[in-house]
């Protein structure tokens, strides 16, 4: 349905700190002259999504629809769009706009825009002041300038996390010109770390994983590491003194940087890509002074560099290691993310959010009301023998909307997984209420 300015679409949102993510309907603007309209196929699950949903940084605007590792198919373009057409597979990362005028923007480093780049979600549109909503949704509308081309050789599912985790690891390696003569260390083996290993190896460097945990050697080697260094082993750290040209530190929580600094060679750099906050315990400046070493930070990458990274991935056959989930499983995925229980990135298959096409539903067999708020329609069962039927639920206030196509048992399960709350006696009368 269209209103005057926007389409109303389905997504998943957190509506308050501590609230589970749940179905949410919201407006997506019509294409402006320079916009690309994208039907979202996959969306990666980034740690930032979880932090933002939980208001961990104190700046969340609710409701928030997270998701900034977006892959989809172009379904429409504005009149001035020249680089994309309907049918193209494209990506959108952490940003959807910037001022375009300041010196970082003019140098193609939009992520460092002095007038604050517009984030893909939890931001405010620069033109109409509306909130930005992310990729946990059916569709997104983005200015052509911030849309990336996904090269043919890349698997779109596994490419989704490249748009945040990938570029965050790639950008520092390129900025510090990593090449075949370099020794690179990567601290931490998570979403960012596993990509940093792959990139550094593909750039020709000699690569070492630094980790606290023994037992990751085989996995690290599979991902491109030549060596593994156990950071809690003082003897190993001492032996590695003065080794590395560049160390990419992906750990997101405060940790001791001193052992890592000692392993840098003359003029070496330790670049932080995971930690945002105070460094604790304190860094001993002697470690900086005696080897002219540096501590630096780096955030995602500009649009041009993101395209370069995607092309690099296609040329070197690099992808993210992913675990696919349904949109309805997002809250469980967040719990596992908090325990670092994922190898190495969850990606949501956005088909799980989309309603079944009308053509598959058949005739309406029954209509009714479950309670004050929910109406339902039952469609004639396509397979009588297996007791399969199809149901459509409508929120009377015009809100969430779900379709189930299953037996009564599966139907009940579906409702539970979709985050909609029903009491048992609120099920349609044709259901066996002993099912639970």
DSSP 50-118: HHHHTTTTS---SSB-----EEEEEEEE-TT--S--TT-EEEE-SEEE--S-SHHHHTT-GGG-TT-PE
Q: How many residues bind Zn ion (CB under 5 A)?
A: 9
Segment contacting Zn ion (CB under 5 A): 41-49, 58-66, 133-141, 288-296?
Answer: 41-49
Cα(121)–Cα(240) distance, rounded to whole angstroms? 42
d(CA 14, CA 23): 9
Whichever of 167 and 209 has its CB closer to Zn ion, that residue is: 167
Nearest CA-CA partner of 162 in 249, 66, 70 = 70
Query: Pick from 36, 40, 43, 46: which binds Zn ion (CB under 5 A)?
Result: 46
Q: Which of residues 365-404 bind Zn ion (CB under 5 A)?
A: none
For residues 161 and 165, give the distance between their C-alpha atoms in angstroms, rounded to a whole number. Answer: 6
Q: Rule CB under 5 A: is residue 70 a binding residue for Zn ion? A: no
How many whole angstroms separate alpha carbon 152 and alpha carbon 392?
Answer: 37
Q: Is residue 250 a contact point for Zn ion (CB under 5 A)?
A: no
Among 6, 8, 75, 99, binds Zn ion (CB under 5 A): 99
Please say which residue, 47 or 405, places its beta carbon nearer to Zn ion.
47
Q: Assign 207 to helix, strand or coil.
A: strand
Tokens of 234: 């003082």
Interaction between residue 337 and Zn ion (CB under 5 A): no
If one asks whether residue 52 binds Zn ion (CB under 5 A), the answer comes out as: no
Q: Is 143 in the site for Zn ion (CB under 5 A)?
A: no
Angle CA(339)–CA(165)–CA(263) in degrees, nearest 5?
A: 85
- Contacting Zn ion (CB under 5 A), which of 52, 98, 132, 328? 98
Beta carbons of 147 and 92 less than 8 angstroms apart: yes
Contact segment (CB under 5 A) with Zn ion among 50-58, 114-122, 245-253, 310-318 equals 114-122
60 near 17, Cβ under 8 Å?
Answer: yes
Which residue, 92 or 220, is less far from Zn ion as judged by CB?
Answer: 92
Choices 106-114, 176-184, 324-332, 389-397; region in contact with Zn ion by CB under 5 A: 106-114
User: In this chain, which of 113, 140, 272, 348 binds Zn ion, going by CB under 5 A?
Assistant: 113
Taking CB under 5 A as the criterion, the residue among 102, 124, 288, 342 binding Zn ion is: 102
Contacts with Zn ion by CB under 5 A lie at: 46, 48, 98-99, 102, 105, 113, 115, 164
């Amino acid at each position: 349905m269209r209103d005057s300015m926007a389409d109303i679409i389905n997504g998943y949102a957190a509506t308050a700190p501590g609230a589970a993510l749940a179905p949410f309907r919201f407006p997506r603007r019509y294409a402006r002259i320079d916009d690309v309209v994208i039907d979202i196929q996959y969306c990666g699950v980034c740690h930032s999504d979880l932090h933002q949903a939980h208001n961990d940084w104190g700046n969340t605007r609710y409701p928030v629809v997270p998701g900034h590792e977006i892959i989809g198919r172009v379904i429409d373009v504005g009149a001035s769009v020249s680089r994309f057409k309907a049918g193209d597979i494209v990506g959108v990362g952490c940003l959807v706009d910037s001022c375009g005028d300041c010196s970082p923007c003019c140098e193609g480093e939009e992520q460092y825009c002095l007038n604050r780049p517009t984030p893909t979600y939890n931001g405010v549109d620069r033109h109409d002041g509306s909130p930005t909503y992310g990729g946990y949704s059916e569709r997104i509308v983005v200015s052509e300038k911030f849309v990336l081309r996904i090269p043919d050789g890349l698997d779109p599912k596994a490419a989704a996390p490249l748009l945040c985790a990938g570029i965050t690891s790639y950008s520092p390696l390129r900025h510090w010109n990593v090449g075949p003569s370099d020794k690179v260390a990567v601290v931490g083996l998570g979403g960012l770390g596993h990509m940093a290993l792959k990139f550094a190896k593909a750039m020709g460097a000699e690569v070492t994983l630094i980790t606290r945990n023994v037992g990751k050697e085989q996995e690290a080697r599979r991902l491109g590491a030549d060596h593994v260094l156990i950071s809690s082993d003082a003897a190993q750290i001492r032996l590695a003194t003065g080794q590395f040209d560049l160390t990419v530190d992906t750990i997101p929580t405060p940790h001791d940087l001193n052992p890592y600094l000692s392993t840098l060679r003359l003029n070496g750099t330790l670049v932080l890509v995971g930690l945002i906050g105070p460094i604790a315990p304190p860094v001993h400046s002697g470690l900086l002074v005696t080897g002219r070493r540096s501590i630096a930070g780096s955030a995602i990458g500009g649009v041009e560099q993101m395209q370069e990274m995607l092309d690099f991935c296609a040329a070197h056959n690099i992808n993210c290691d992913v675990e696919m989930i349904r949109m309805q499983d997002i809250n469980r995925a967040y719990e596992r993310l908090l325990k670092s229980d994922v190898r190495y990135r969850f990606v949501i298959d956005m088909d799980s959010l989309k309603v079944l096409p009308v053509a598959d539903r058949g005739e309406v067999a029954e209509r009714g009301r479950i309670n004050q708020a929910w109406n339902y329609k039952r469609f004639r069962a396509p397979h009588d023998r297996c007791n399969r039927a199809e149901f459509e639920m409508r929120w009377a206030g015009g809100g969430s909307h779900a379709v189930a196509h299953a037996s009564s048992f599966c139907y009940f399960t579906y409702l539970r997984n979709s985050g909609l709350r029903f009491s048992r006696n609120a099920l349609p009368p044709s259901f066996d209420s002993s099912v639970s």
